Amino acid sequence: MILEENTKDAELEATQIQRDGFKVNWRIASTKQEFIDELKKEKPDIILADYSLPSFNGMAALKIKQQIYPGVPFIMISGKEEADFAIQCIKAGATDYIHKDRIYLLGPIIHRALQELQIYQDRIKAEKALRESEQQYRLLAETAQDLILIIDVEGNIIYANEAGAYYLGYSREMMTGMNINYFLHPNSLSVETKHREAKIHLKGNNNHAFELNLLDNESTIIPYEVSSSPFIKDKEVMGVLYIARNISKRKAAESKLRNSMNQIKKTMNATIMTMAKVVETRDPYTAGHQRNVSRLATLIAREMGLPANEIEGIRVASLLHDIGKLDIPSDLLSKPRRLTDVEFNLIKSHPQIGYDILKNIDFPWPVSQLILQHHERLDGSGYPGGLTGKEIQLGAKIIAVADVVEAMSSHRPYRPALGLEKALQEIQDYSGILYDKEVVKNCIYLIKEKEHQVSLEIVNMI
């Protein structure tokens, strides 16, 4: 739009703009009313205004434009040379100023003005989107069931969401300004420590997570899972944003599950011990043998640094390692003389029988395999599979050593106890041949260096 009394001057300006590559569709106004009417008809992309008109002037037109279309570029055109005048126009809100003798510069000025307009429009859109986003986030924060807090560097609450505060029995206004320590359960770690830890993490702009017990307005303990992140204002960390989720139901479910698992474990242990005692009733001369083997095997596994779950599997398997003897005639088990080859071969079937008894029980450990292999030897001379070296599971190698030490140290119907020293000599002489070197080394270390009193009962657990 061109505010100009002289039509030829307006045509000259339009022509100059076209020469600079713009597609021009222009309108002209020369009075205040015409200017207002043209503005109301259609919003212009840019306004060119002669500073001085008989009944109107550019400065008055600028004020009107600012009220109707504040973002539209406004370029003042005048014959005045004074720099002060140009500054006055810019201060009043004009996008730029050009002298009438320099109309040839109009194209670049308009190009720059349109670029600035685009930047202005983008900024307006961004600000609108930000306002809408802030409104959405505020709505989300206020209605979220999680407790959302912003806490300053001293631990004082500077923001609390309404819904989160409600579940603690407070209003947002009541919580704001209070110190977070007021809501902290005494048995929890100091929130000041937590807050300090969070701030340390914030230096690296990292989230920090922990669990915390808070007290509601009736002093009821409520467990929360808390995550923190920096609260930044003007590029400076002003405090910490905490989002705390009530995990009471989860904690109750976890407790119920733990109790259930503990009960299952107790039942399983009782069942295992009962099965072990049943074997002892068949073989009274070796009463306690399985328990003693289990104690020693467990200590060896622990000394070797095996994982807790693997150690537990070895403990259970060694408690039941002779369960296959349930299928062996009891007179053979208590025979007071050496067995014949046929009788001994029958005894040698007990690992396979034990495996067959337990293979369908879904233990969380390879119990049946360890029982099957506990009489295997590294050189393949063992039974029932004649396995060698790495074919034998480590747990079975541990049970084998514990079984030999306990058996040789204890009385049998066909011989007196050979003694602990001979038992240790046996496993040392055949270390790496029949028995695993590491297992033998740890067994001897346990008994000699740690001074465990291994006798007929073998080991009293530490």
Q: What is the pLDDT of residue 435?
A: 96
How many residues in total does the chain contain?
Answer: 462
* Residue of 168, 159, 162, 169 lying closest to 143 (CA atoms): 162
Q: What is the pLDDT of residue 183?
A: 85
Q: Identify whether the C-beta of residue 324 lies closer than 8 Å to the C-beta of residue 371.
A: yes
d(CA 81, CA 88): 12
d(CA 242, CA 46): 49
My answer on whether omega of the bond before 384 falls inside 30° of 0, hence cis, is yes
> Which of 3.90.730.10, 3.30.450.20, 3.40.50.970, 3.40.50.300 would CATH assign to domain 145-246?
3.30.450.20
Q: What is the pLDDT of residue 318?
A: 93
The helix/strand/coil state of 291 is helix
The first and second tokens of residue 395, run together, are 């747990």
Regions of the chain with pLDDT less than 50: 191-192, 195, 197-205, 452-462
- What b-and-e string marks burial along 104-140, b requiring 16 or more CB atoms within 10 Å of the CB? eebbebbeebeeebeeeeeeeeeeeeeeeeeeeeeee
The first and second tokens of residue 330, run together, are 């009891």
Are 2-122 and 145-246 equal in CATH topology?
A: no
Q: What is the pLDDT of residue 201?
A: 43
Side chain identity, residue 368? S
β strands within 85-207, DSSP E: 96-99, 147-152, 157-160
Sequence-separated (6 or more) residues with CB below 8 Å from residue 349: 324, 327, 328, 384
Q: What is the pLDDT of residue 452?
A: 45
Q: What is the CATH number of domain 2-122?
A: 3.40.50.2300
d(CA 199, CA 176): 20
Domain ranges of the chain: 2-122, 145-246, 253-449
Q: What is the pLDDT of residue 440?
A: 95
Q: What is the pLDDT of residue 18?
A: 86
Q: What is the pLDDT of residue 136?
A: 59
Beta-carbon count within 10 A of 300 CB:
30
Beta-carbon count within 10 A of 265 CB:
11
The first and second tokens of residue 422, run together, are 């001979």
Fold of 253-449: Hypothetical protein af1432 (1.10.3210)
| Bridge pairing between strands 47-50 and 2-3 | parallel
Sequence-separated (6 or more) residues with CB below 8 Å from residue 139: none
The upper half-sphere exposure of residue 319, i.e. CA atoms within 13 Å in the direction of its Cβ, equals: 20
